[in-house]
Structure 1
């Protein structure tokens, strides 16, 4: 994989998994409520589930490319369209609402959250189809990329969990500015995926 593509993939991944979503909002909320250390089982469940999904995404995209050889360009444009959809959703997103009925999350909750977290599922499919499979195909390399994508998500999770109330207050006060910046960066990533920019 060329370095320029690796950098674009990393930026796109960071914008996707570090932006507000089910994992990050739950981690922000529960860390501010229960503390960082009591959130560790939930976080490790998220990371384990995320790695599982990244591996499955790599397998699925590789199998689909083998069965339908001409699907790669289609998958690339579908991935770009999804990134544009994420940009739109980010642009119009409102600040997160707090629920007073939360219970302390567990490892199992974190793991199973990934299996129904459409953002992470499509993230894996997009990264593999748009960035990784056009350049890499070996099983070991695909696993390393799955691990790397999970690692980027884990960094974002840690940031949101460490930030706790501070980030929650800042985001609530400046959510529109932050959403607009993230949305514009996602549009840029989408254009780069298609080769239009």
Structure 2
């Protein structure tokens, strides 16, 4: 029997929040190393990526590596009225501020909007994944809406403990195109 999205969301969020700093750092380094070696990363010029929260896999080192490799970085901004994501190019932490849902998001007045399919690679956050690349995120459906019309590579960084055989998915749920999984 498949478990409900709400149950799995709570279970895996709790699991990630309770992870030791040592284990989190080890997994972060493995995920980053694997990402930086994958074809999608190597060929991407503009990367869409969230600014991670403390229980998520760290994205700031990924952002800094992208800049070192002369890639452009676009961070998402949520629109709670439409439940849509918009991405804006960022060049430093000064381009960000705490906004909707207490997330660090681009300050739209000082950053440049990026059309969805101008992103070569999209890193998609999530809490639990299945073997068909479906995911359960935080429940707003923002990434599912975005992925429905996005036509390039999307990758999620995943610790093996975040994988289940199969998730319940609805017609509007969208899988990512690749998972980078580490032990």
Fold shared per TM-score above 0.5 = no
Determine which structure has the larger strand proportion and give its number.
2
Larger relative contact order (CA 8 Å, sep ≥ 6): 1
Determine which structure has the larger helix proportion and give its number.
1
